Amino acid sequence: MLSMVDKVVAKVSGVFAALGAAMIGLLALTMVADVVGRQFGSPVTGIVELAAQTVVISAFLTIPYVMRRGGHIRATVLVNRTPPIVRKTLEVVAYLIGAVIFALLAFSAWDAFVEDFVKASYEGEGALRIPTWPARLTIFLASVLMIFESLLATAKTFVEVKK
């Protein structure tokens, strides 16, 4: 059961991260197109707002994958010198803190998403208006995924300790 859920969550995190990374690659190409296009009098419209939204969306798309890969920056030098049981306990504490803060974020991001979606809020002006709800929705979905990742990491640590 646990391993099945784990596989599904891993897959979702992987797909999210792939989308996020692809967006970064596309942003690079679009921006170069803008730099080149400017020389010929045809810049990409709204590149500034496009870049800003890409940063938010790609950041949140990759955050759960970072968790899965154990890549959230932490100081391990002291912890690595403690006995395994202390280390495992501290790990569980860290995961639970992760679950709590992303639950808080999911809660507040959902309200913001509903509000922006209903009001059809947008950023940017002139020719290119970018709706804000996709970014809000991404924050919400990524936070929910982070809750899953944190709880799974907790569960896996317990299974490890039992063995």
Partner 1 sequence: MSSVDIAELAVLAVFVLVLSGVPISFSLIVTSFVGMYLITDKLDVAFNLLNAVAYSGIRDYVFAVIPLFVLMGAFMTNSRAAESLFTAVHYLLKKVRSGLAIATVGANAIFAAVTGVSVASAAVFSNVAYPQMQRYGYSKRMSLGVVAGSSILGMLIPPSLLMILYGILTQVSIGKMFIAGLVPGLVLALMFSAYLYVSSYFRPDMYGIDTPNPNRFVLKAQKKAAARELKHPEDFDSDEFPDLGRPSGKISLPGMVTQTIAIQTVQMSFGRAMLGAVPIVALVALVIGGIWGGVFSPTEASAVGAVGALIIAPLMGMDWKKFIKAFQQTAVAVGGILLLLIAASFFSRMLATSGFINQVSEFIQGLDIGPMALVILFILILIVMGTILDSSSILLLAIPLMFPSILALGIDPIWFGIVFIIAVEIGLLTPPFGMVPFAMNATLGKRASVEDIFAGSFPFVLVMVAFLVLLMFFPGIATWLPELLR
Interaction site with partner 1 (CB under 8 A): 17-18, 20-22, 24-25, 27-29, 31-32, 34-35, 48-49, 51-56, 58-66, 69-79, 87, 90-91, 93-94, 97-98, 100-101, 104-105, 107-109, 111-112, 123, 135-136, 139
**Closer residue to partner 1, CB minimum distance, 4 or 78:** 78
**Closer residue to partner 1, CB minimum distance, 2 or 97:** 97
How far apart are the C-alpha atoms of 60 and 143, rounded to whole Å? 8
Q: CB of residue 34 vs partner 1: minimum separation in angstroms?
A: 8
How far apart are the C-alpha atoms of 80 and 59, rounded to whole Å? 29
Q: CB of residue 100 vs partner 1: minimum separation in angstroms?
A: 7
Neighbours of 65 (CB within 10 A): 22
How far apart are the C-alpha atoms of 31 and 33, rounded to whole Å? 5
Are 77 and 50 contacting, i.e. CB atoms less than 8 angstroms apart? Answer: no
* Residues found in the chain: 163
Q: CB of residue 1 vs partner 1: minimum separation in angstroms?
A: 27
Q: CB of residue 10 vs partner 1: minimum separation in angstroms?
A: 13
How far apart are the C-alpha atoms of 160 and 163, rounded to whole Å? 5
**Closer residue to partner 1, CB minimum distance, 6 or 30:** 30
Backbone conformation region of residue 114, classed left if phi is above 0, alpha if psi is from -120 to 50, else beta: alpha
**CB-based contacts of 118, cutoff 8 Å, min separation 6:** none
**Closer residue to partner 1, CB minimum distance, 63 or 144:** 63
| Residue carrying the six token digits 């692809």 | 22
**Closer residue to partner 1, CB minimum distance, 5 or 93:** 93
Q: CB of residue 12 vs partner 1: minimum separation in angstroms?
A: 14
